[in-house]
Structures are given as C-alpha cells and as structure tokens.
Amino acid sequence: MTDFLQLAHDRYSCRAFSERPVEREKIDALLEAAVAAPTAVDRQPWHAWVVETPEAVARLAACTRFHFDARVIVMLGADPARSWVRKYDGRAFADVDASIAGTHLMLAAHDLGLGTTWVGHFDVNAVREAFPETEGYDLIALFPLGYPAEGDAPSPKHLERLPVSELVDWV
Ligand SMILES: Cc1cc2nc3c(=O)[nH]c(=O)nc-3n(C[C@H](O)[C@H](O)[C@H](O)COP(=O)(O)O)c2cc1C
C-alpha cells in the first residue's frame, strides 16, 4: 500500500494494456473501494457494470475509440431518481456521487498495480442501445481496465497541472 499523496501523484491515465488478464479479486477490490465512497445523504445513486465477456466488450468498444483494447471495461452510471437534490437551487448530486465512486475506483486500480483511464468520450446513445440495462442512468464514465503495457508511461499532460496558487484562494 502506498502513501496516499504518492498514490494521488502516481496515478495516471493508462491507455495501453498488456495481455495479462485482470484477476477477479482485483476487480472485486476496486469495486469495494467504489462502494466505500461517500455520497450525498448516503443515497448511493450509482451503478457499475463490469463488462467482461469478449462479446460485451466488443459491443462497448464499438461505442468509443477510447477503449484501448482493454479486456475489461467498467461502465459507470448515475441514477437521477435516487439523487439527493439541494433544495436551495434544485441541484441534483447523483453525478457528483458517481464521480466520487469512480475516483475511488481509479485510485484503487492504481494501488492494485492496474491501469485505467476515465473515459468520457463515448457515444452515449450507442451505449444505451447496446446495453439496455443502462436505461434511466446518466452514463458518467467508462474505465478500460488492465495491467499497464510494458514501458507504459504517463502522457505529458499528467504533469501539466496548474499551480496551487492559481487554483486556490485562501479567503
Ligand atoms: C471527466 C473526464 C473525462 C475524460 N475523458 C477521457 C477520454 O474520453 N479519453 C481519454 O483518453 N482520456 C480521458 N480523460 C483523461 C484525461 O485526459 C486525463 O486525466 C488528463 O489529461 C490528465 O492526465 P492524467 O490522468 O494522466 O494525470 C478524462 C478525464 C476525466 C476526468
């Protein structure tokens, strides 16, 4: 287990995977990390689909060019019907909740020696058609999953963070 700050720095978007299959226990562990995520009023308004059969993976891969030939892809949805809604402005938080769960999943993947990327670029309507079980969910992200290919390294963007001073004000 790495130190958390180190984990936060080291996690990167992995876009090339080795042939090595991902063990079921590791997928279970990253799902456990997602379930541990906080959600507004503990509503837990999200759902994940572990897309793992070659047929289903091919069906999903046809909906995005950002599949990176992964053998497993986790699809993440937010359920607006179960969302907490802030009464002052009517803002629903299901997408925020799902995103926190997704972030846990991503960090856990790296901690387990796996790689993934948060993929937002996919044809939502095509996914809905290919996976009718996602009906009613806002589709938040896809996480292609695998062991990083040998020699895989973070893209230059990984280090292009704005300085804290530009992102944060102390008031
Ligand atoms: C909401 C969101 C959507 C993203 N969508 C994609 C995507 O569709 N394809 C992709 O290759 N990377 C995608 N990324 C990854 C970002 O490009 C990446 O996180 C960013 O460039 C920083 O690099 P790093 O993750 O290696 O630190 C997405 C990230 C986030 C948070």
- Ligand 1: centre distance to CA 103 (Å): 12
pLDDT-derived band at 28, boundaries 50, 70, 90: very high
Give per-residue pLDDT as tens, 31-86: 999 999 999 999 999 999 999 999 999 999 999 999 999 999 999 999 999 999 99
Give per-residue pLDDT as tens, 94-143: 999 999 999 999 999 999 999 999 999 999 999 999 999 999 999 999 99
Residue 25 lies in a domain: yes
Query: What pLDDT, on the 0 to 100 scale, is given for residue 2?
Result: 54
Cβ count within 10 A of residue 69: 13
pLDDT-derived band at 1, boundaries 50, 70, 90: very low
Residue 161 lies in a domain: no
Query: Taking residues 4-25, what's their average pLDDT?
Result: 97
CATH classification at residue 60:
3.40.109.10
Residue 104 lies in a domain: yes
Residue 124 lies in a domain: yes
Mutate to test the pocket of ligand 1, among 9, 12, 13, 64 (most ligand atoms within 8 A of CB): 13
N- to C-terminal Cα separation, the chain: 35
User: Ligand 1, atom 19: nearest CA belongs to which residue?
Assistant: 13
Q: Shortest CA distance to 10 belongs to which of 129, 110, 143, 130?
A: 110
User: Ligand 1, atom 6: nearest CA belongs to which residue?
Assistant: 119
Residue 67 lies in a domain: yes
* CA 60 to chain centroid: 15
Domain count within the chain = 1
Residue 157 lies in a domain: no
Residue 3 lies in a domain: no
Residue 6 lies in a domain: no
Instruction: Determine the Cα angle at 152 with ends 146 and 154, to 5°.
Output: 100
**Closest atom, ligand 1, to C-alpha of 154:** 26
Give the ranges where the chain is alpha helix by DSSP (H).
4-10, 24-35, 54-61, 94-111, 124-130, 164-167
Domain that holds residue 44: 14-149
